[in-house]
Amino acid sequence: MNEVKRVLIVVLSFLIVLLGVVQPSASSLAVSSATAQCYVYDGHHHSAAWTCVATERGPPRTKDQDSTSGTVDRRSNRPSARSDRATPPVTYGYDNPRPLVQVADIAMPTEGRAQLRSAALSSQAPGRVATNTADRVVIGKMADITADGAIGSGERTLLNQLPDLGSVEANWAQNERVSYRR
Amino acid sequence: MKTGNPSRDVSIDALGNPANNTGFLYYERAVLLREGWSFNPATHLWSPGAG
């Protein structure tokens, strides 16, 4: 009978501990109590107003010659790594002043003059261009156009505007476009 | 063509008429005629209008 009572007491105490009836130890409470802090609001606190006062404008008047930290002044402040290039560069004086000479007009081939004239005429309305203008386009087969003496004075071809585009279709479209625009 | 300036045709026969009427040259002459241009066998010029 005593053993049964002892077993009951052990089981009952185990259940009590298991259900948390027993208070936890003081060491486990120490963690949570340490985080509790209280703050009291006593007003606004602003940092001092930031001001920027410049004593001079533009780049600094003096150079920081004593700087040894930056890579910026490394080349200018430190001795040259090339000791063999210590010789200063040679300078040459200008001792032969020549007067400006007026040159004659540069000779220009006929086709170049025609192109310049064409550029000047392009600013005018097409209807106001004289029909007997010197800017005359020559058409025909390639062999006839490129033959000696085929292009007269004041005439031009459109060959310089017709590069080979690599295909018959592309060349045809280009011919059509340039031919109509001339 | 757009400028209206006469163009000289260098591919002509002994009578001064357009020759080698093939390829793009044929097309170009056809467009000139369609646009009302005319060819002058004496001057070998294509000009807008009846010439």
Average pLDDT over every residue of B32-47: 94
- Interface-testing mutation among B13, B17, B21, B24, with chain A (most A C-beta atoms within 10 A): B24
Tell me the DSSP string of A64-106.
-TT--S-SSSHHHHSPPS-GGG-SPPP-----------PPPPP
Given this model, what pLDDT does residue A129 score?
40
Residue with tokens 């020549």: A98
Given this model, what pLDDT does residue A127 score?
39
Given this model, what pLDDT does residue A5 score?
84
All residues of chain A having their beta carbon less than 8 Å from the beta carbon of residue B9 are 138-140
pTM for the predicted model, two decimal places: 0.42
- Minimum CA–CA partner of A130 in chain B: B5
Tokens in use for A92? 């040459």
Strand, coil or helix: what is A31?
Answer: helix
A135 interface with B at CB cutoff 8 Å = yes
Given this model, what pLDDT does residue A180 score?
80
Asked if B6's CB is within 8 angstroms of A136's CB, the reply is: yes
With a cut of 80, say whether residue B46 has pLDDT above it. yes
Given this model, what pLDDT does residue A141 score?
94
Tell me the DSSP string of A146-160.
SSTT-S-TTEE-SGG
A15 interface with B at CB cutoff 8 Å = no
Question: Shortest CB distance from A182 goes to which of B2, B27, B47?
Answer: B2
Count of CB atoms situated within 10 Å of the CB of B9: 25
Q: Which stretches in chain A have pLDDT values below 70?
A: 1, 20-35, 45-56, 60-134
Average pLDDT over every residue of B36-50: 92
Asked if B7's CB is within 8 angstroms of A137's CB, the reply is: yes
User: Which residues of B, range 1-51, sit inside 8 Å of A by Cβ?
Assistant: 1-12, 20, 23-25, 27-28, 31, 46-47
Asked if A126's CB is within 8 angstroms of B4's CB, the reply is: yes
Helix A168-181 to helix B23-34 angle (10° resolution) is: 30
Given this model, what pLDDT does residue A70 score?
47
> What is the residue-averaged pLDDT of chain A?
68
Question: Shortest CB distance from B5 goes to which of A129, A144, A175?
Answer: A129
The 10s digit of each residue's pLDDT in A108-121 is 555 555 454 444 44
ipTM given for this complex: 0.92
- Minimum CA–CA partner of B26 in chain A: A140
Given this model, what pLDDT does residue A9 score?
86
Given this model, what pLDDT does residue B3 score?
81
